[in-house]
């Protein structure tokens, strides 16, 4: 797991590689173990390495035998053992033990068709120095990031945007349309990023560059072919799912360093930990126990440590707990945004940033996680809420449905008090909404869109008339309307929030900030294909979520875990910025560290231009008075503060200091 | 009802519209605040807290219904009724 970067130019005379060392140095956190470059006329690839497989022989960029193909690769090909055997049978002789060489040789043999054979998480570049063609490719689900920009006749690419900005030719401006996207659907709609000059290579896509011409094409998209398993007996389905998950976990334990596991206390990560511990057991008596890592919070509403401890006791793992306080979140939030490179609407990435640091401090570089299970196996409340809203609208009012809403949101105390009539007025669906292809997500997007009331007049004018939801609809598969309701909602989660927010801002970026690689058994292509072909009855029955996965969990996890109703991962909210520690103590000593006050001050808000200073002052006052109790105010504050941090880090303070060394925006923030 | 409506409008603009008086979120005293998206499920409770703090009105859970809380006029009438009832109780 690593960071990659590169530059290719149309003219051989262009002085391309000047920026390359600076670009790769910006990715040091992703690959602290080694840093190398391959430079030739008008082309250069660079690699910052986190050594996980073939610790001695796996350095990159790596060339093929006749040195016409060069690869720089971030990620892991988990089925590289099987692919290597296949290639060796075909006469390939390997020089290293790495998965990188397997990938390169497979590409040499099959070209882009090689991608279909890969089971892994990847972002890579292959440069063909003979034809002067560059291929960029990104994994199906969007686990590993890849960005690019074009300056004149030059293409630059990198794992993170900050590396592109290390080249002074790349402009750094906020894209108003992306802000509009984020304050609707939580992330920019790929390929847009928060910066107008930078594009994301979307998950499951390839980019080809040849003589200055760029072609982006789709290699994969999730399908929801429900009928294929309609007749599958429940018991057979359970056995098949267990087999898929066991295999997905087993190949994700392949590494030349220890692989640990995150444990949330929920069903998904507990199953993964159980399967990983089982594999350890198969390895024999000498194998050390699985190392597990988890978060705990002071506030009972967020804390799941009692469940985590049940799992630890049942599996016999060697467990490490990190206690995270609201003050910790405030302290690291600037660094979190520096790594996320995007505005955030929740503080939840911050504890995961701290957890990755904690893992790394304990000598681990690789962890398995339970991310993806809710999307693939039907676990989210948004799926249940959509079902409930539809029922409510079709069959009129009923007090029982109010009780269901309250059961769905036990963590939202304000809902518990409300009458059936009031809840119906909030949760019923209008006839137009019922017919909308994104019916399930309209309440979330409409709530988030309300935050646009904080936009400045200028920002509002620049996005006037655009409709982010309409753009989502325009990108849906042609036959989407014929899909079942749950499949549609799952598709939106898998293609939108998962890559755009969860796998990036809460996944790769938080872990790789500390050189920790996360691996996701539930996002294994065979697991995803199986999950998305299951009929409704094995996903959500009544208001019971993850029916089939829960059955698998019954044999692997303690009853307290597999019988549990899903608890969404949540962290202490935006009031932490005002109450618990007070902004004056946020992050560092002394008054100059008051970043919350600084960045939300009317003068700074006015200078940066995206938000309305009066409205932001009202919001801040509401928090200070302890009157901000709702999700919307919370998202508004986090969204505005993180956007201000993006501007601070990447626009106002990104650059070089007087010694010419690059410094991060967050360092600049601390120094003032 | 007039003093209540003025205060309520001020509270709504200050608390839910964050001081926006541009007219973008104009609402009449009879408009449904929920349909306009001004008050959501959390907002109802913020409103109830305000009624309790400002007017000393205790709002029972069964009174949390749209008929009492969905427009400025409905809320003002609700305040009036609650205060009248409270006076009657004290007088008796």
In tens, the pLDDT along A439-448 reads 999 999 999 9
B45 touches chain A (CB under 8 A): yes
Query: Nearest CA to CA, how far is A526 from chain B (Å)?
Result: 41
Q: What is the rounded CA–CA span in Å between residue A648 and residue A533?
A: 45
**Residue holding tokens 């596991």?**
A261
- What pLDDT score was predicted for residue A662? 40
A612: chain B residues, CB-CB within 8 Å: 20
Cα B37–Cα B41–Cα B46 angle in degrees, nearest 5:
100
Note every long-range contact of A39-42, with CB atoms under 8 Å and residues 24 or more positions apart, other chains counting: A40/A129, A41/A12, A42/A8, A42/A9, A42/A10, A42/A11, A42/A12, A42/A13, A42/A14, A42/A16
Q: What is the ipTM of this complex?
A: 0.85
Residue A618 and residue B14: Cβ atoms within 8 Å? yes
Assigned token pair, A245: 């998950």
Length of chain A: 672
Q: What is the CA radius of gyration of chain A?
A: 25
- What pLDDT score was predicted for residue A490? 95
Of B18, B40, B69, the CB nearest to A453: B18
- What pLDDT score was predicted for residue A586? 41
B11 touches chain A (CB under 8 A): no
pLDDT bucket at A670, cuts 50 / 70 / 90: very low
Residues ≥6 apart with Cβ < 8 Å to A300: none
B75 touches chain A (CB under 8 A): no
Length of chain B: 92
Query: Nearest CA to CA, how far is A396 from chain B (Å)?
Result: 16
Assigned token pair, A117: 């054979």
In tens, the pLDDT along A369-406 reads 999 999 999 999 899 889 888 887 776 555 666 777 77
pLDDT bucket at A590, cuts 50 / 70 / 90: very low
Q: What is the rounded CA–CA span in Å between residue A639 and residue A34?
A: 36
Residue A421 and residue B65: Cβ atoms within 8 Å? yes
Q: What is the rounded CA–CA span in Å between residue A627 and residue A621?
A: 9
In tens, the pLDDT along B23-58 reads 888 999 999 998 888 988 888 888 988 998 899 888
Helices (H), A224-343: 234-251, 267-282, 305-315, 326-340
Test mutation, B11, B42, B63, chain A, max A CBs within 10 A:
B42
B18 touches chain A (CB under 8 A): yes
Is residue A582's pLDDT more than 50? no
Residue pair A64/A128 in contact by the 8 Å Cβ criterion: no
Cα A17–Cα A23–Cα A29 angle in degrees, nearest 5:
145
Chain A interface residues (partner B, CB cutoff 8 A): 414-415, 417-419, 421-423, 425-426, 446-447, 450, 453-454, 612, 614-619, 622, 627, 629-633
- Domains in chain B (CATH in brackets) are 2-91 (1.10.1200.10)
């Amino acid at each position: 797991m690593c960071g990659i970067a590169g530059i290719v130019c149309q003219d051989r005379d262009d002085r391309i590689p000047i920026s390359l060392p600076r670009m790769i140095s910006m990715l040091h956190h992703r690959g602290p173990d080694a840093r190398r470059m391959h430079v030739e006329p008008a082309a250069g690839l660079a690699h910052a390495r986190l050594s996980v497989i073939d610790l001695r022989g796996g350095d990159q960029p790596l060339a093929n035998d006749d040195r016409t193909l060069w690869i720089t690769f971030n990620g892991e090909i988990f089925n590289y053992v099987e692919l290597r055997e296949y290639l060796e049978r075909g006469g390939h002789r390997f020089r290293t033990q790495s998965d990188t060489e397997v990938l390169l040789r497979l590409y040499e043999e099959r070209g882009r068709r090689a991608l279909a054979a890969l089971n892994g998480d990847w972002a890579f570049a292959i440069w063909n120095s003979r034809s002067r063609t560059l291929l960029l490719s990104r994994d199906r689900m969007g686990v590993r990031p890849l960005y690019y920009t074009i300056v004149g006749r030059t293409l630059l690419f990198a794992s993170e945007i900050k590396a592109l900005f290390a080249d002074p030719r790349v402009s750094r401006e906020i894209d108003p349309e992306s802000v509009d996207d984020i304050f609707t659907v939580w992330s920019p709609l790929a390929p847009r990023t928060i910066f107008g000059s930078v594009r994301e290579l979307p998950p499951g896509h390839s980019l080809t560059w040849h003589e200055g011409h760029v072609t982006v094409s789709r290699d994969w998209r999730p399908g929801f072919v429900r009928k294929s398993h309609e007749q599958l007996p429940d018991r057979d389905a359970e056995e098949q799912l267990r087999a898929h998950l066991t295999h997905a976990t087993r190949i994700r334990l392949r590494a030349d360093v220890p692989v640990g596991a995150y444990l949330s206390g929920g069903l998904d990560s507990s199953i993964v930990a159980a399967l990983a511990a089982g594999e350890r057991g198969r390895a024999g008596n000498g194998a050390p126990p699985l190392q597990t890592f988890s978060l705990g919070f002071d506030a009972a509403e967020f804390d799941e440590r009692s469940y985590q401890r049940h799992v630890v006791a049942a599996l016999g793992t060697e467990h490490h707990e990190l206690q995270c306080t609201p003050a910790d979140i405030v302290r690291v939030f600037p660094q979190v945004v520096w790594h996320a490179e995007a505005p955030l609407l929740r503080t939840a990435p911050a504890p995961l940033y701290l957890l990755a640091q904690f893992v790394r401090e304990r000598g681990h570089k690789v962890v398995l996680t339970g991310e993806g299970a809710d999307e693939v196996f039907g676990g989210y409340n948004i799926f249940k809420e959509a079902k409930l809203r539809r029922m409510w609208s079709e069959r009129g009012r009923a007090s029982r449905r109010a009780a269901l809403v309250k059961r769905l949101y036990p963590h939202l105390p304000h809902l518990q008090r409300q009458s059936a009539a009031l809840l119906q007025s909030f949760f019923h669906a209008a006839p137009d909404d019922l017919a909308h292809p994104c019916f399930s997500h309209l309440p979330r997007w409409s709530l988030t869109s309300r935050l646009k009331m904080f936009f400045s007049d200028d920002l509002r004018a620049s996005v006037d008339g655009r409709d982010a939801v309409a753009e989502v609809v325009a990108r849906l598969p042609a036959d989407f309307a014929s899909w079942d309701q749950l499949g549609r909602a799952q598709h939106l989660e898998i293609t939108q929030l998962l890559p755009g927010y969860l796998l990036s801002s809460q996944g790769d970026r938080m872990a790789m900030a500390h050189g920790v690689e996360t691996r996701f058994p539930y996002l294994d292509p065979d697991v995803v294909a199986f999950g998305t072909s299951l009929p409704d009855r094995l996903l959500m029955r009544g208001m019971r979520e993850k029916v089939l996965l829960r059955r698998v969990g019954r044999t692997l996890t303690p009853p307290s875990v597999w019988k549990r109703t899903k608890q969404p991962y949540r962290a202490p909210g935006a009031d932490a910025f005002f109450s618990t520690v007070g902004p004056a103590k946020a992050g560092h000593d002394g008054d100059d560290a008051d970043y919350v006050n600084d960045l939300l001050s009317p003068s700074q808000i006015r200078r940066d231009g995206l938000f309305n200073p009066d409205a932001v002052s009202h919001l801040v006052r509401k928090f200070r008075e302890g009157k901000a109790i709702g999700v919307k105010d919370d998202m508004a504050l986090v969204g505005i503060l993180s956007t201000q941090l993006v501007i601070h880090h990447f626009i106002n303070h990104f650059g070089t200091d007087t010694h010419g060394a690059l410094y991060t925006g967050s360092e600049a923030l601390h120094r003032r | 009802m007039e003093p209540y409506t003025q205060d309520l409008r001020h509270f709504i603009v200050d608390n839910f519209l964050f001081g926006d008086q541009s007219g973008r979120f104009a609402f009449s005293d009879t408009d449904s605040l929920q349909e306009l998206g001004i008050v959501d499920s959390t907002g109802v409770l913020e409103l109830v807290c305000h009624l309790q703090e400002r007017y000393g009105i205790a709002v029972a859970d069964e009174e949390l219904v749209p008929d009492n809380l969905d427009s400025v006029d409905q809320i003002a009438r609700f305040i009036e009724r609650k205060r009248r009832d409270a006076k009657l109780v004290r007088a008796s």
